[in-house]
Amino acid sequence: MERFKNYINGAWVDALSGKTFQNLNPADQRDCIGEFPESDAADIDAAVKACKAAERSWMLTPAPKRGDILRRAGDIFTRRKTELSRIMTREMGKPTFETAGDVQEAIDTCYYAATEGRRLFGYTAPSELENKMNLSFRMPVGVCGIITAWNFPIAVPSWKIIPALLCGNTVVFKPSEDAPHSAVVFAEILEEAGVPPGVFNVVHGKGASGAALVEHPAVRLIAFTGSTQTGTSIAARCGALNKKCSLEMGGKNALAVMEDADQELALEGVLWGAFGTTGQRCTATSRLIVHKDIYEEFTNKLITHASKLRLGSGLEPDTQVGPVINERQLEKIERYIQIGRDEGATLALGGGRDDGPKLGVGLFVKPTIFLDVTPSMRIFREEIFGPVLAVTKAESFEHAIELINDCEYGLSSSIFTSDVNRAFRAIRDIEAGITYINAPTIGAEAHMPFGGVKGTGNGHREGGWTAYDIFTEWKTVYVDFSSKLQRAQIDNY
Ligand code: UN1
């Protein structure tokens, strides 16, 4: 069996304890991807020490030069795109056309960062005093701990790691234990691109290594993508330890279809939003809200189309929906399907595991649709992270907006309508970090702010120019060239 290692200080090493864990292919549980180090606080400490040793020379490397290295990383991701997409599909399941898109998001992020190396703009402002100049610069934060989920094993880490490095920070990356092989390739690519030893480190493991990263006194920032439960506890620790903390957590994203919508387009949007990535995106369409005038017609069409989706291994070219990630998640999804039944929603499609002769070797859940879901039901309110869609009837446009906003999360949202006034009202009134008009809730682009309001995040935005706010600290500079003591607020008023 292949034995993978941590990447610390430019070297590939086992966990100091020698412990390992195995990672299995979710489409075929007989296929073991390999053994990975099950690291603990000692390995995290070694990686943080490597960061500290490397941080000064990396910070002093001009930002455009750091950008050149990250551009090369983009080139290498491009060269290895097909190979990496197959590695990713084998370990986390989504079809190769999706994993290729995942790699493409990292490529886009690298090329964006390369140009940002020649900007990293600060502000200047006039001084209130004569012969004095006010400037501000972006400085690195220090050692950044990056903890991510398995559903976007390359794209989401890249949203954090690439801007962090461009800004002159050093990084310890703790990837998900469900997608560790992709993280190994990430390290190989940064190494080949010329990121110096110690600047970027990968420490594999489970919760204990993530917790050690949060607790380590020399780690100045934690950037996390994952469950609301874990994120909230990380934030509490970061609060107590005075660390900067950026969180991307849950979603219960709604897509509304109005009676004036292009129904064929909306149908395609729902199928992709709800069942793409097997519903395992934080941006997945997990609630569908349909105007009463087209409810019957639209949901009938939806059920017919969803029943034809092809499940299978993501490595097979005609697969549309892959497996779910692990046994624990499969059980959680089954539990929620039971909850939906018990709550009195109408199970119109799917309803559990596909354990037939072909798919029984993997972790497959049939695309599942519940009709007549009401806002008091748990399947309307709680994130399931699987191919389960809750459908609710709206009495009017206003009611649809109310239903969309009746949610503790606020990541993505969508409305299909041909009425321009409604579209602009929706843009204004929907409480979410992202709103799509006539497109499903998934499809964020790397150069735009990504994140959510309410229970989804804590006010930061990854992607685009806003990621650079997370990974820098402002340095304000006053240059007094008057040759006399000038007291602000006192000598001028
Ligand atoms: C996530 O689900 O964690 O917009 C990220 C999208 C993707 C990113 C999703 N580009 O769905």
Residues 166 and 258 in one domain: no
Residues 62 and 208 in one domain: yes
pLDDT digits (tens, 9 = 90+) for 227-266: 999 999 999 999 999 999 999 999 999 999 999 999 999 9
Instruction: Answer yes or no: is 175 within a domain.
Output: yes
Q: Quick one: tokens of 129?
A: 């005093």
pLDDT digits (tens, 9 = 90+) for 287-321: 999 999 999 999 999 999 999 999 999 999 999 99
103 lines ligand 1 (CB under 6 A): no
Domain containing residue 240: CATH number? 3.40.605.10
Instruction: Answer yes or no: is 485 within a domain.
Output: no
Instruction: Answer yes or no: is 1 within a domain.
Output: no
Residues 32 and 169 in one domain: yes
Instruction: Answer yes or no: is 56 within a domain.
Output: yes
443 lines ligand 1 (CB under 6 A): yes
Q: How many domains are contained in the chain?
A: 2
Residues 303 and 431 in one domain: yes
pLDDT digits (tens, 9 = 90+) for 95-120: 999 999 999 999 999 999 999 999 99
Residues 233 and 275 in one domain: no
Residues 335 and 316 in one domain: yes
Please tell me the predicted confidence (pLDDT) of residue 338: 98
Which residue has its alpha carbon closest to ligand 1 atom 8? 444
Domain containing residue 378: CATH number? 3.40.309.10
Instruction: Answer yes or no: is 380 within a domain.
Output: yes
Residues 245 and 275 in one domain: no
Q: Which amino acid is at 182?
A: S
442 lines ligand 1 (CB under 6 A): yes
Residues 93 and 182 in one domain: yes
Instruction: Answer yes or no: is 35 within a domain.
Output: yes
- Give me ligand 1 centre to Cα 441, in Å: 9
Please tell me the predicted confidence (pLDDT) of residue 264: 98
Q: Quick one: tokens of 459?
A: 């006010």
Q: Is the dihedral of CA 460, 466, 467, 473 positive or negative?
A: negative
- Give me ligand 1 centre to Cα 329, in Å: 19
To the nearest 10°, report the CA torsion of 348, 352, 353, 354.
-20
Residues 177 and 218 in one domain: yes
Averaged confidence pLDDT in the chain: 98
Residues 191 and 220 in one domain: yes
444 lines ligand 1 (CB under 6 A): yes
Instruction: Answer yes or no: is 448 within a domain.
Output: no
Share of the chain above pLDDT 70, in %: 100
Q: Which amino acid is at 223?
A: A
Residues 233 and 282 in one domain: no
pLDDT digits (tens, 9 = 90+) for 212-222: 999 999 999 99
Q: Quick one: tokens of 466?
A: 């806003």
Residues 20 and 91 in one domain: yes
For the chain (493 residues), the mean pLDDT of every run of 10, in chain order, is 97 98 98 98 99 98 98 99 98 98 98 98 97 98 98 98 98 98 98 98 98 98 97 98 97 98 98 98 98 98 98 98 98 98 98 95 98 98 98 98 98 98 98 98 98 97 97 98 97 92
Which has the closest alpha carbon to 227: 343, 332, 124?
332
For the CA of 280, the nearest atom of ligand 1 = 2
| Full domain range(s) for residue 121 | 6-249+457-477
Please tell me the predicted confidence (pLDDT) of residue 478: 98
Instruction: Answer yes or no: is 450 within a domain.
Output: no
